[in-house]
A = this chain, B = another copy of it.
Amino acid sequence: MTERLSAEARRQALGELPGWTEAQGREAIGKTFVFKDFNEAFGFMTRAALVAEKMDHHPEWRNVYKTVEVVLSTHDAGGVTALDIELAKAMNAIAKLTPG
């Protein structure tokens, strides 16, 4: 489950993850989510935090008002694993539920 994905597998997974790209300068994936306001941005973070905690797999993220920049990688595996893809998918699904 937590085996590091090959570059090829990573690219393929990213192809099915709208908005996610390879992070610059490190083996990780990232996306910047932009919401309507802080309420929506932090609401997204709260829902994503519950998913992350349940998975025991946590994001690196930065929030400035309505923007949430997320970077995902699996420290123990030294790169991107299926856990990151799963969390990225969950975050996209949560963001999609946010009205506005």
Contact = CB atoms under 8 A, between A and B. Distances in A.
Interface in A47-78: 49, 52-53, 58-65
B65 A39 contact: no
Contact count band on A:
10 to 19
Given A38-B49, A61-B63, A62-B62, 17 more contacts: A38-B52, A38-B53, A38-B58, A39-B53, A42-B46, A42-B49, A42-B53, A45-B45, A46-B46, A58-B64, A58-B65, A59-B63, A60-B62, A60-B63, A60-B64, A61-B62, A62-B63
Nearest to A67: B60
Each complex incorporates copies of this chain amounting to 2
A62 to B, nearest CB: 4
Nearest to A64: B60
18 contacts: A38-B49, A38-B52, A38-B53, A38-B58, A39-B53, A42-B46, A42-B49, A42-B53, A45-B45, A46-B46, A58-B64, A59-B63, A60-B62, A60-B63, A60-B64, A61-B63, A62-B62, A62-B63
